[in-house]
Structure 1
């Protein structure tokens, strides 16, 4: 065999190896019961499939501590990248292990951390401001509001903080309850039960003017409670965030559920995949947060 043949053969082997190389990515979340998380992951997996990646989706079913163990497992398996959908501050031990191993981590609607190359998300500040302002304007700046929040998760905690500020800046708006529902099932069932209790404690028509929810599940639970209590006719304004299919159906029905912010879930998943691709290719991402656009959904554009 001559030198030319050897070089051609070696080049062919390199090309074959490159063609069959497959990036392995672990996607880890405790929130797969949430529709939004499911949509993020759908978008990520679709983008990953186009790149020929092997993706392992790991759900710890609400167990935050287990996320650390699953990150450590991914590091032991020497994956090429890790994507998280959880508060980075709660899983730092696992993230530090990934950093030590040189494995890049991308947040998918997670939070900022020195261990996270970039967090791909919607602008929670803007979403909360727009939905809270919608409530204030619909009530002409006066009324009693129930808030459904979830402070343990940074992207949702941010929304509550901004809504708090807007309601506090409106003198005749009073927040009569700030509820953190159980999210094991996504949040609908417990939010419904909590809203039922609030309706019973405030039986007079007009005693509850609006419900502001930091995501759609509590808003849907509150809607069920209002309708079942026979109080839909009081004009209680309900606003959520995410614009998931159930929320869109409720808005289209023209009842109490009036508005929700549409996040581009698949877009967030695709942008997270793009961030992973850049990192595994050796690129450095300088922006700690990558925002994907949102828009307010009401009866005027829900059919679009």
Structure 2
């Protein structure tokens, strides 16, 4: 979503909800990564894995695939894929981080709309569609058919919920001339098609992971004997950088589902707004000052974004490791005394 769709009250409400969920996610990740936790990845693995998977999803989101016969395109959201590998709360935090980097460094999505985008894309996929639909259908992940079914159903549901949320937030904002009924008439069908594409891509990735590195799947439960993940993390990182480097040659130039829906609803690529206020101008100024590569205007944008996510994740992992060593050293000293 762009800032043109969001009013100050909706910005405040969505932002507060997003911040609250992010705080909960940090607490849940700490709890789920404890040694005796029943599922998920260990504390040693979770942050690096979040980094490489975030970089992979960032790169994959930059590749728009055409929707045949519509003149529109879609891209991977990645929430279901992330949740199947990381678990729902780590996936939510990872996808939210991707959206923040896209907003601030690449001016992709509005600054005022960031809270809405986190709720629509990260929360509805990772915290709603994944636990309610994907997880029960996926089971233990031993069947390719169940993996495909779970991926398709959950991805379509997540995209449809997100499309519905966008229309409701736009209607609640009341600053554009986009009638709710007509907007929904275009938003829901086109995002159903995008969800099918994402579901197929998600199932394909999960099939490869299940076959060659099943211990990566948080959806299948924590492995009894955790194995080293260094090689797997390196492979995912290299794939992410390769996808990011090639996005300009394989991405569709057609408008995405939201842009296409706005165009067919209003007849304009950008919705007509009924107001301009200081908050919108401030948000635009903040985004203009932080966007080093607006609109991905260089072929290095994909590599730069993926690299930024990787560096931030491994930086966090390094700090946590130092803190853990310091804590262990202090405990050993206390026992000696």
Normalised by the shorter chain, which TM-score bucket? 0.3 to 0.5
TM-score normalised by structure 1 residue count: 0.33
Larger radius of gyration: 1
More helix by share: 2
TM-score normalised by structure 2 residue count: 0.31
Higher relative contact order (CA 8 A, sep 6+): 2
